[in-house]
Structure 1
Amino acid sequence: MIADGMYPAAAPGRRRAQYMTPKASELLLKDGGLTGLPADTLSRTRTNAFTDARPAGRPHSLPLVVLSPGHAKPRTELTALAEELASRGYVVAAVDHTYENVATSFPDGRVTTCVTCEIDGKGPDWWAKLEKSRAADVSFVLDELIGARPKWKDSGLIDRSRIAMAGHSAGGAATVAAMAADRRLRAGVDLDGSVETILPDAGLSRPFLLLGKPATYTPGKGESAATWERVWARLTGWKRWLLVTGAAHTSFTDLGVLIGQLGLEDGAGIPGPRALDVTRAHVSAFFDRHLRGKPQPLLDKPSAGMPEVTFCDPEKKTCA
């Protein structure tokens, strides 16, 4: 397991961060069957982040958000979301779960591949075990960042009372498991991830946002939606169930944008950049509300500025 960090900077650095390593680009494109593209296509992409920027902020002032990607996908698929949160004053730690990703790059140049991808017959129990394993990874990352001997030299900027998590697909499901296991996580977001973790009878009283696509997560419409309904029933605090019209599974990540730029299709009925704008707006609003105490009308009712988003009531089996 490895994690990359982003944070608000006092000033721009000298060099923009690489999106991923050449080997990771090669393996990810190969996994997607995109062998006709140059192998280093994604490694030649540059982010809006800098590798050598000095952090901005007062001691113990910055909220921390941990991000977990989908199964077989790299932590870089959540780069745009991480950049958005960092630009708003959050420290962000994006986690790669080793051997669960087609290419996990380590600082010493090693690249591990996806062992779990080769396992056949993955049922609910298997996914529940994966979610529990990822929850343990996240707790380890928190220990490394804010424990007795933090590994990041600027960890003193983090406000340890304001920590949260979000994830896509398996990473979103793991957010439920991580919150159930680690009370340091004060709020959580599941982006289009079916959940096999069973919350305890006492439920989870901390804020939670479910944000997904109608094809899979319309209440009462299938097995994946049923997993959200099971989670929803045991969320006893602030909660929302929002769906993005036209979204595909990739729409909540950078992949929706990259697929479009490469001239490919992912089945989405909403442009990748627009879907990413919607995702970033709602996730940022959620964390601003629950980690900073700022009112967020965007989360209270449907918005004229974001007509793609519907609010669901799973008890009534309706979305509007």
Structure 2
Amino acid sequence: MTTIILGFATSLVYGFADFFGALASKKIKPVTVTFLAGLAGLGFVSVMSLIFGATFSPGAWFWGIAAGVAAAIGMTALYAALAIGPISVVSPLSAVVSAIVPMIVGFFLGERFSPIGFGAIAAIVVAVFLVGFVPGEDVRLPSTRALILGIIAGVGIGVVLICVDQAPADSGLAPVILLRGMSAAMLGIFTLTAFMRARGVKQEKREPIPAKYWISVALAGIFDASANIFFLTGMRLGSLTVVSVLTALYPLGTIILARIFLKERLAKTQQLGIMIALLSSAILAVA
């Protein structure tokens, strides 16, 4: 049961991070938001390591850095896929793939469930797609490039989850610190390169960015790092497959905050997905 709760907590908090990241991106370049949020998250998880501990063993270094590289690739591919669109298809596609990849690895690592348990997991995967699918005017089919990028994004995120799971159990938050540090370094290089290229281009004078957007950047980083901690704890207490599938429900957190702050309504497909996810999780908890 604890694993189910942590899996849901991970998905909700990841969704909160996405919400504030999207909010900040309305006034700040997305790559800048991602980089600065990464630094904020790195600082947060470093402070939390004083409570949870962090042992930088060779295994923690290897899997942490590998996770950081996968995260940078996965998130870059995700943003590129979302930019091409349609978001209503690309987003749930990447989420489903990010759940399936750890499921396959978990099976080869010996994770087994009862028929009812496998059925509940399959239902949650369906719920992931329904929760992430937001029908609207843009209902065109995605291009081949968008599909490929969406799949790459899902695989990248799935590999992050696998790498974190493979890190030594006694390493504390070291894998998460290394994950965030490596990802921030790669994004920092990309941001610096983009800045250097733009120096010679005449820039339009812009108004100062309100403080609330910078606060949103910090909140995005803190929530993202918190989700990393929830996920790591869930992995060590339970199953890679279960926590990964529940983590893929991260659009749920974004939906909740959008409903509270932006008064956005839930589509019927999303309502159905949420009901399936809750029911399937309850079944999985007792299966």
TM above 0.5: no
The structure with the greater share of residues assigned to helix is 2
TM-score normalised by length of structure 2: 0.29
The structure with the greater share of residues assigned to strand is 1
TM-score normalised by length of structure 1: 0.27
Higher relative contact order (CA 8 A, sep 6+): 2
